[in-house]
Structure 1
Amino acid sequence: MLLVAIGFTVFILMGMPVAFAIGISGALFFLQNPDLPFTIPVQVTVSQTQNFALLAVPLFIIAGNFLNKSGITEQLLKLASVMTGRLRGGLAQVSLALSALMGGVSGSAIADAAMQARMLGDAMLKRGMSKGFAAGVLSFGSLLTPVIPPGIGMILYGTIGQVSIGRLFAAGFVPAILLWIALGIAVNVTARRRGYPPERDRRPSVAEVGTALRGGIWALLFPVFLLVGLRAGVFTPSEIGAFAVIYAVVVGIALHRKLTRASFLEALEGSLADVGAVMFLIALSAIISYGIVYEQVPDQISQLILGLTENLQAVMILIVIFLLIAGFVIDSTVLIIMLTPIFLPLIEQLGGDPVHFGMVFIIAATIGNFTPPVGAAMYAVCSILRTSIGEYTRESVAFFAAVALVTLALVFLPDLVLFLPNLLFNR
């Protein structure tokens, strides 16, 4: 597997698309093992696309695009402004609230960061906020989106690791709230030091709150319906993806009346590109996964880590550090697909809970979207706001520290993650 790792690194540094880098470097494994028939890469690639459990991935992507075209985003922005407009930092606090509310709609940190940069970026700059600060808030704030159900990372981790997706969905709420609070404190401290004013100068009236809640109610109820459907056994994870699509269409056409024929086709077109990219990546990752299993890499890594320590929390911290380093050059989706089969057995061997580890794992893997040199969300926001990576990095230190502290708390306090899943799923 050394040749595979070198090949993958070289291809990524050359700027090759990640899916092709995975597929070609995986094929190198079979070139150096002539005893293995070269038909295997084709077979495993095709068989990976036949995994019924992965049907939830494209369905939730389609549902998210339909919801975005249904006018829900504008309603959630109004609700976020009512909720947090009087806090120090103004639109920066509003952007964090919008990311939390958008969790059930988007599911993608990159999509949320780019959308918010276009919606709020210029307005934040006009209010005197520096470009680096605005970019950092909009980028790191989008971490809330994949942590709240139905994040695509949860579905991939649950499917690959055979972990209850219903419990993973329930586990995301408390970590998301903690991340929101930590990032909000970081924004507040910076805003007070620099004199960034609140967005609103008075408390919202009861009528304003009621109007905002009515406008965003269908987006807020979306993750609730998902959890209830899974908990009651009405849907399997794949079936609830189909329910999500129907829900999004009904909300867009019958309730908000914003999903027209043109926007419907735009959502389908966008979904086609998103689904194609994700599923192509998943399919080609099966080539490397075959080599990982064949060479017993999980056992070797387990032995290496256990040679250092057998303390569960220490092992999780080592994995988090590894994910942070790997996230500098590898996308979070790739990390989840490739490393779940390696690290999850090790955590279970030490007596760790797969749902607890899953949330820590997904958060740590997603942080790579916001860090140089290849963070996709970082580049999306910086390009829209026309700010340098250097300024972004300097202004984002406080946000990175806030996320790191929450991640450490989740490692050492598993009940923060498991409280809600255990309550809802009777464990």
Structure 2
Amino acid sequence: MISTLILVAALLLIVIGMPVGFAIGIAGTSFFLLPGTFLPDSTAVQRIVAVSQSFPLLAVPLFILLGNLMNGAGITHRLIALATTLAGWMRGGFAQSSLLLSAMMGGVSGSAVADAAMQARVIGLPMVAKGYSPGFTGAILAIGGLVTATIPPSLGLILYGYLGEVSIGKLFIAGIVPGVLLTVALMLATRFVAVRRDYKPERDSAPTLREVGSALRTGFWAVLFPIWLLLGIRFGIFTPSEAGAFAVAYTLIVGMFIYRELTLKGVIDACIRTLNDIGMIMVIIMFSGTFGYVITFERVPQEIAEFALTAFSNPTVLLFVVSGFLLAMGMLIEATVLVMLLTPILVPVITAAGIDPVHFGLIMMTLVTFGGMTPPVGVSMFTVCGILRCSYKDYTVESIPFVAAVLLTVVLMILFPGVVMYLPNLVM
């Protein structure tokens, strides 16, 4: 009962506009101040400090720094050129290229909002100038960024793995096939719309092998990075946290000495932006330590697991019910907050039901990240609509085919666990 009140208090504080980190911190800490709580007040402080002492958590600031360094390093526009070469010949070529770019950016930025914001500035405005409606452009750029929720190095998967004590390396590898399927589903939805509206290709014909080879040579160092990242984790050369350090060093070397586009001023600007981003995220993470401790102390996961296993004997039915809950919550609350709040509760539940936590992690991250692209409070939606100056109504209507593609992909992931688990079981 007390834990329910604390969860409701946290949600109410978020709804009335209090910063998320403080809302979680106040709700969690209040437990230790209630009469009848036989725990010292200092436990709350100890849990906050304990969270900051995590080695796996180093991956978060490192990958945030990586995303901020990427544009100045010359990686982004080379990936854009490669994506246009590969997909520009399709109907709606500009839109198709943006989806391929999201898939390639998934291995670099790790953030759906960062991906959507970058593409809205670089690709979105030219798309509108070429005759694509602002609503369609905003929808495809925002929802296309969903691919970064699964393709490594997803920041959400890092947090989920850390909080749920699930192998981050296995989560990274498991995200590749769902990421590819999601990209294909969104490209098919784009083609459907492009044919009906007569959106033209960017190229007259499919690229020749020579043109593809030339684009690959130009973007060789950018494309090579995610491959080295996954191979390094798979063969134990470095952990996911060390992979973040490798990625930053790799980007600095490529940007400063190979492409020679990353300047000292660019590095300093990226570090300043990273400090701002990390400050916000780490406050949420640290205060979630107290909140998570209260949830565990009150035996909330065990009680929910007992109820769920009694009410839903079929694991697939349980997954559908939990997925519907995650989708609804994702429409109201930012993805990072949901991961912090729900991972310690849900992972024991689905594990007790016989569902692999890696399988569930990919479904969870896809749905909670997708919520940020839908009304009423989608961060990615607000970002692209603000940059492209399109109405939220137009965005919502134009997003319907892409919403259908995403939900169909999630249904396939639930019904066929092998889609998610084939690669990690094969290589790990």
Whether these two folds match at TM > 0.5 is yes
In the alignment, the residues of structure 1 paired with residue 310 and residue 171 of structure 2 have an alpha-carbon distance, to the nearest angstrom, of 30
Identity of aligned residues (%): 49
1:12 aligns with 2:6: no
Aligned partner of 1:79 in structure 2 is 82
In the alignment, the residues of structure 2 paired with residue 341 and residue 13 of structure 1 have an alpha-carbon distance, to the nearest angstrom, of 22
1:412 aligns with 2:415: yes
1:191-230 alignment, distance < 5 Å = 191-230=194-233
Aligned partner of 2:329 in structure 1 is 326
1:346 aligns with 2:349: yes
1:137 aligns with 2:155: no
| Partner amino acid, structure 2, of 1:111 | A
Aligned partner of 2:29 in structure 1 is 27
Residues 305 and 350 in structure 2, CA contact (< 8 A), matched pair in contact too: no
Q: Structure 1 residue 62: deviation in Å?
A: 1.6
In the alignment, the residues of structure 1 paired with residue 161 and residue 211 of structure 2 have an alpha-carbon distance, to the nearest angstrom, of 40
Aligned partner of 1:254 in structure 2 is 257
Aligned partner of 2:313 in structure 1 is 310
- Which secondary structure state, in structure 2, belongs to the residue aligned with residue 203 of structure 1? coil
Residues 309 and 353 in structure 2, CA contact (< 8 A), matched pair in contact too: no
- Which secondary structure state, in structure 1, belongs to the residue aligned with residue 219 of structure 2? helix
Q: Structure 1 residue 243: deviation in Å?
A: 1.4
Aligned partner of 1:360 in structure 2 is 363
- Which secondary structure state, in structure 2, belongs to the residue aligned with residue 370 of structure 1? coil
Q: Structure 1 residue 240: deviation in Å?
A: 2.0
In the alignment, the residues of structure 2 paired with residue 268 and residue 300 of structure 1 have an alpha-carbon distance, to the nearest angstrom, of 44
Residues 3 and 29 in structure 1, CA contact (< 8 A), matched pair in contact too: no
The correspondence for 1:108, drawn from 108, 111, 115, is: 111
- Relative to the length of structure 1, the TM-score reads 0.96
The alignment yields a C-alpha RMSD, in angstroms, of 1.4
In the alignment, the residues of structure 2 paired with residue 411 and residue 341 of structure 1 have an alpha-carbon distance, to the nearest angstrom, of 21
Q: Structure 1 residue 64: deviation in Å?
A: 2.5
| Partner amino acid, structure 2, of 1:17 | P
Aligned partner of 1:120 in structure 2 is 123
In the alignment, the residues of structure 1 paired with residue 197 and residue 233 of structure 2 have an alpha-carbon distance, to the nearest angstrom, of 46
Q: Structure 1 residue 76: deviation in Å?
A: 0.4
Q: Structure 1 residue 269: deviation in Å?
A: 1.0
- Deviation per CA, 1:328-362: give whole Å up to 9, x if none: 22111111122111111122212222211111111
| Partner amino acid, structure 1, of 2:49 | V
In the alignment, the residues of structure 2 paired with residue 122 and residue 94 of structure 1 have an alpha-carbon distance, to the nearest angstrom, of 14
The correspondence for 1:399, drawn from 402, 408, 418, is: 402
Q: Structure 1 residue 145: deviation in Å?
A: 1.6
Q: Structure 1 residue 303: deviation in Å?
A: 2.2
| Partner amino acid, structure 1, of 2:15 | L
Q: Structure 1 residue 90: deviation in Å?
A: 2.0
In the alignment, the residues of structure 2 paired with residue 286 and residue 50 of structure 1 have an alpha-carbon distance, to the nearest angstrom, of 11
Unaligned runs of 5+ in 2: none
In the alignment, the residues of structure 2 paired with residue 333 and residue 217 of structure 1 have an alpha-carbon distance, to the nearest angstrom, of 32
In the alignment, the residues of structure 1 paired with residue 379 and residue 169 of structure 2 have an alpha-carbon distance, to the nearest angstrom, of 28
1:146 aligns with 2:157: no
Q: Structure 1 residue 216: deviation in Å?
A: 2.0
Q: Structure 1 residue 74: deviation in Å?
A: 0.3
| Partner amino acid, structure 2, of 1:351 | G
In the alignment, the residues of structure 1 paired with residue 406 and residue 48 of structure 2 have an alpha-carbon distance, to the nearest angstrom, of 36
| Partner amino acid, structure 2, of 1:233 | G
